[in-house]
Amino acid sequence: MIPNNRWAARPIFYSAAVALMLLAPAFVPEASAQGNKSTDVSKVVRLNRAPVNKEVLRVQLPRPTVVKLPNGLTVVLLEDHKLPTVAFTMMIRPGQLADPDDLPGLASFTASMLREGTTTRSSEQIATQIDSLGASLNASAAFGSGYLSVNASGLAPDADKILDLMSDVALHPTFPDGELAQFKQREESSLEERLSNPGFLANQALRKALYIEPPLSVASPTKDSIGKVTSADLKKFHDQHFTPGNTIFGVTGDFKAADMQALIAKYFGAWTGAAEAPISLPEAATSEPSKIILVDRPSSVQTYIIAGTRTIRRTDPDYYSLVVMNDVLGGGPQARLFLDLREEHSYTYGAYSAASTNLYPGDWHGYAAVRTPVTDGSMTQFLYEYKRISSEAVPASELDDVHRSIIAGFALSLEQPSQVLDSWMLVQYYGLPQDYWDKYPDRISAIDAGAVQAAAKKYIDLAHMQWVAVGDRKQIEDVLKKYGPVTVVDADGNPEN
C-alpha cells in the first residue's frame, strides 16, 4: 500500500517497491531436457535473498482523526496532501445481510439504483454534474458483506459540490419506476452471463454448501427476485437501513480535518436515525460430512474445482495463523498449490486458496480450473497438499519467506491513500484496537510452524470439507466418485437424475 516520499521521514523503509523485491522470494525452474512444460517442484531453485534489515518489516500507518457527529455518524478523516484530490466512502450496515429471504439482491438493487434519481435531480442531471466535475460516484453491495458502500472522488477544490451530490444520492433517492425497469433488463442480462461462468457457478454452489441458510448461503440475485422487486421495496430497504447510526463515513485527501468535518456536517448533520441492533446470524454450522457437488456443464473443456470449510470471525485470535497458513498453501504463485498443480504437473494456469472472515464465521477454500482429462490427478494433488500442510511442519526458510511476503504486501498496499483509509474504517467496522495495524506485522511474524500446522488441522478439515466441481458430467462423474459421494445439479442448483 505505499512507497512514497511522504514516508521518507518515517522509520519504515525508503521504498516499498524495493522492499517487496528484497522480501519476496524468487524461483527459477531448471530447464527440462525433454522440453516438458511441467517442472518437478523438488528441482525448483530458490534464489538467495538479499540481506534485509529487520526495520524494513516495521510498518506504521498514518493516524486518522475519528469523530462522531451529534447525529451518531462516525467520521474517519485521513489527510493526505500529495495530490489535490479527495475521496469519500460510506459503509452502511447491514448491507446484503438484511436481504429478505424472498428478495435476494435487494441491497445490491438499492445501491445500484441510488444514482437513478432523487427528489431534486434526475438520473441524467446526476450523470451530467458528475461528468462536469470530472468526479466519480457509485454504490455497491456485495453478497456476504455486512455493509453497503457509497463512494465518490474528485478534485479537492470541488469537495463541497461532490458532497452535495453524494448526500443527495445517498439520502434522497426516489427509485423511479422507469429507471428500475431498465435496471432490471440490465440485471437479467448480467445474471445470464454469470450463470455461464464456471467460477461463479462453483462459488455459488460452495457458498450454499457451507452456509446452508440465507442470507449467508446466497451469492446472487435470482431471476425471480429481479423480476418482482419494486420501487417500494427499494424505498423500504433504504428508509430502514440508511441511517447515520449505521454508517461509517471516511474521507482521505488534500484537506484540513477540522474544515472537512464541518463540510461533512453541513451535508450529513441533519440526517437522522439510530444504529440498528446487529443482525442475528448463526454460529458456524455443524459441519456436514464431506461431499462433492457436481455442477453439470455439458461439453466443458475444463473442470473448475473448489473446496472449503467454515472458519472464524475477523476478530478471532486465530486470524493471524489462518492468514499465514493460507499464504503457505495457496496465497500466490510462490505457494504450494500453484507450484504443485501448475509448475510440477501442468494441470492448470494457476491454483490458489483464500480465507474470508467477517462479522460472522467465514470460510477457507482452495480452487483451480483444470483441464477436464486431468480432473482425477488434480483432485489427488489437492488432497496431497491439504494433508501435507496438516501433517508436516513448514520449513523455517519457507515460513520466513511467507512472513516477509505478507508484510511487504501490507506495506505496498499503503501506496494508495484509499487503501489506508479502508484499513482504518475496518478498525471501526470490526471494533478492532486502535493500535491494531501497528502490531499487525509483529503478530504475523510471530506465527511459527506449530501455529500454521494447528490452523491447518483445525480449518482444513477433510472429513467435513465441501467440494464443488463444475464440468462435463459425462467425463468427470465417475472420476469424482472415487473421492466421495457425488450429487449432480444443474446451473440453477436443481438436482439432476
Q: Are 249 and 316 part of one and the same domain?
A: no
Q: Are 305 and 238 part of one and the same domain?
A: no
438: in domain: yes
Residue 42: pLDDT over 70? no
Nearest C-alpha neighbor of 238 from the set 147, 171, 150, 183: 171
Q: Taking the chain, what is the end-to-end CA distance rounded to the nearest angstrom? A: 50
For residues 489 and 473, what is the distance between their CA atoms, to the nearest angstrom? 10
Q: Are 314 and 402 part of one and the same domain?
A: yes
454: in domain: yes
Q: In the prediction, which pLDDT does 11 show?
A: 28
- Per-residue pLDDT of 314-359, as tens digits, reads 999 999 999 999 999 999 999 999 999 999 999 999 999 999 999 9
19: in domain: no
194: in domain: yes
Residue 32: pLDDT over 50? no
Nearest C-alpha neighbor of 175 from the set 229, 253, 100, 246: 229
Nearest C-alpha neighbor of 405 from the set 319, 334, 342: 334
Q: Residue 168 is part of a domain; what is its CATH number?
A: 3.30.830.10
Name the residue range of residue 155's domain.
65-268
Q: Which of 268, 302, 317 is the last residue of a domain?
A: 268
Q: Are 82 and 139 part of one and the same domain?
A: yes
Residue 394: pLDDT over 90? yes
379-399: average pLDDT: 97
What is the domain count for the chain?
2
Q: pLDDT tier at 414 (50, 70, 90 boundaries)?
A: confident
The pTM assigned to this predicted structure is: 0.87
For residues 380 and 456, what is the distance between their CA atoms, to the nearest angstrom? 18
Q: pLDDT tier at 387 (50, 70, 90 boundaries)?
A: very high
Q: Are 339 and 465 part of one and the same domain?
A: yes
Q: pLDDT tier at 309 (50, 70, 90 boundaries)?
A: very high
Q: Are 248 and 318 part of one and the same domain?
A: no
7: in domain: no
Quick count: other Cβ atoms within 10 Å of Cβ 298? 10
For residues 74 and 91, what is the distance between their CA atoms, to the nearest angstrom? 10
Q: Which of 199, 233, 268 is the last residue of a domain?
A: 268
- Residues 11/48, Cβ–Cβ less than 8 Å: no
The type of residue at 120 is: T
36: in domain: no
For residues 47 and 21, what is the distance between their CA atoms, to the nearest angstrom? 12
Per the model's pLDDT, the better-predicted residue between 6 and 65 turns out to be: 65
